[in-house]
Amino acid sequence: MARPSKPTTQDTLDSLSAARLREFLTDELAEDAKMRERFVKRFGEPGAAKPSFRSKLDSAFAGMSRQDSYFGPDFGEFLEAAGERAGAGGRDEAIRMYQDICESIYDHMDDVDDSDGIYGDAAGEALVEMVACVNRGKPDHAPKRPYIRYLYRGYMGDEYGFDRHYERALMDLCTRQEDREYLGELHENRERPDRHAHTDLVRFIKSGIRPQDDRQWR
């Protein structure tokens, strides 16, 4: 008896409902900045906010010498723009804008002088506001999962001292026990068991208790 053939990609697409496909895309786009950029370029309207916002962020670094970078671009205007978008009801777009702020800063860290921490602090503020946007909708656990993965990936992959900002954002986001359990699964299955093995985040995963003194975040 012939074995049934495996379904092709086209077969799978044909069998999916629009709702399930949208759910998959939402999860994947939340985690992958390059995929978001390709998606918007392909399907977005000309002059859509996402690419122009990111390009404005990147252009703020253009032509800046390392000495000039000590004072940094004015990230306040970008944070304000994202906040205004959130206030106007564009929660998902605002979340992407906050992600763009953090990612643009991170991508330029090799070119700047962050001895005063202005870049890290701006990235941290963007992450805090991003999480506030997510939590403002009081979502159940499932809609939070892609954002938990996004933040955890940043936490584990950080090379510039942003991990404390990702750590705080994860604690702000994981308001339910099932959020912490999922975060615990990610941490348990991390590729580098030696990395972040004994941290405030590990204690938070186990107990739900955060650092008492907010100065620890500064």
Q: Which residues, including other chains, have CB under 8 Å from residue 62's CB and lie 6 or more apart?
A: none
| SS3 assignment for 167-217 | HHHHHHHCCCHHHHHHHHHHHHCCCCCCCCCCCHHHHHHHHCCCCCCHHHH
Q: What's residue 50's pLDDT?
A: 45
pLDDT tens for each residue of 4-18? 556 666 557 667 666
Average pLDDT across each block of 10 residues of the chain; the chain has 218 residues. List them in order. 56 65 72 66 48 84 76 87 94 95 94 88 96 91 96 94 95 96 95 86 92 54
Domain map (residue ranges) of the chain = 22-217
Q: Which residues, including other chains, have CB under 8 Å from residue 171's CB and lie 6 or more apart?
A: 201, 204, 210
Q: What's residue 138's pLDDT?
A: 80
The reported pTM is 0.73
Q: Which of 138, 54, 136 is nearest to 98 (CA)?
A: 54
